[in-house]
Amino acid sequence: MRAVLAVLLSVVLVGCSAAKASVSGDDLIVVGVKADQPGLGFREGGVFRGFEVDVGTYIARQIGASRVEFREVRSDDRERKLAGRDVDLVLASYSITPDRAKLVTFGGPYYVAHQDIMVRRGDSRIRSVRDLAGRRMCQASGSVSTDRVVKGLSIPASLVPGSSYSDCVAKLRGGVVDAVSTGDLVLAGFAARDLEIVNAPFTDERYGVGLRKGDVDGCEAVNRALTTMYQDGTAGELLRKWFGKSGITLVEEVPQFEGCS
């Protein structure tokens, strides 16, 4: 009898452990976002603001959280902070790639951005991705955007390292680099009088919601939340709120999801 009870108890404990393995249904959800990307994730006066902050809040509420907190992540530490349980979800211009999908489970994408190029206003030398050949392009730490240019398209740009996209933009303003290339939503947040987007998109960047590897239940819950977000009009409202004046073309239809695995 004791042996049977022990087996039953172990089954219950395993079941509880499996349930807790998913972020879905947690009362508190911690969302990792960028702190230095205007329009997407930006910390000002100790408060995080931006499209990804609003989307993260929406998702967390939809999947059961009564409390939502935000913590900063960088492009080069997103996987580590998920695995270490510093954050539960990551929305940080996190492009879905096969290599990254080996380390995390992706919900979404919640938006398909288009990679474009930012230059100093009036610089007519760079009008398309091919014009990056021989030019100095900033490579943000942990980002895959420059690989799409140099490796994917075999364009021999000269890469200059930057710690983040805000650092890359500072280098562009200072004349250290000739261009910054990444998703148009990222670039739109930095666009200003002295900088312009070339508006010559050349590939897609599928921005996913990062979850801990294997959290299929959480991923499916995130995808249901994203579907609702587009169907009830919230996605369009948020896109127009943060990027409506940028001049880039905004897509308000629900993206095709990758599928949870």
What is the structure's pLDDT at 7?
36
What is the structure's pLDDT at 258?
87
Q: Give the Cα-Cα-Cα angle 84, 86, 88 (nearest 5 degrees).
A: 100
| Residue 17 predicted with pLDDT over 50 | no
Q: What gap in Å lies between CA 156 and CA 161, rounded to an integer? A: 15
- The pairing of beta strand 41-44 with beta strand 136-140: unpaired
Mean pLDDT, residues 62-69: 96
Q: Which of 13-22, 135-144, 198-207 is least confident?
A: 13-22
What is the structure's pLDDT at 6?
40
22 phi and psi angles, rounded to 5 deg: -100, 145
What is the structure's pLDDT at 172?
98
Average pLDDT, the chain: 91
Q: Which two tokens stand for residue 26?
A: 């947690």
Domains (range + CATH), the chain: 24-111+206-243 (3.40.190.10), 114-204 (3.40.190.10)
| Residue 8 predicted with pLDDT over 60 | no
Query: Do 73 and 32 touch, CB atoms closer than 8 A?
Result: yes
What is the structure's pLDDT at 14?
36
N- to C-terminal Cα distance for the chain? 39
Per-residue pLDDT of 177-197, as tens digits, reads: 999 999 999 999 998 889 999
Helix/strand/coil (H, E, C) string of 105-125? EEEEEEEEEEEEEEEECCCCC
pLDDT band, very low/low/confident/very high, at 246 (cuts 50, 70, 90): confident
Sheet with 41-44, side-by-side order of all strands: 36-37, 41-44, 47-49
What is the structure's pLDDT at 248?
87
Residue carrying structure tokens 């004791």: 2
pTM for this model (two decimals)? 0.85
Q: What gap in Å lies between CA 261 and CA 257, rounded to an integer? A: 12
pLDDT above 90: percentage of residues in the chain: 83
What is the structure's pLDDT at 193?
86
Run of H or E residues at 83: helix 78-83
| Residue 18 predicted with pLDDT over 90 | no
| Residue 199 predicted with pLDDT over 70 | yes
What is the structure's pLDDT at 135?
98
Q: Which two tokens stand for residue 46?
A: 């100790």
Per-residue pLDDT of 19-60, as tens digits, reads: 357 888 789 999 999 999 999 999 999 999 999 999 999 999
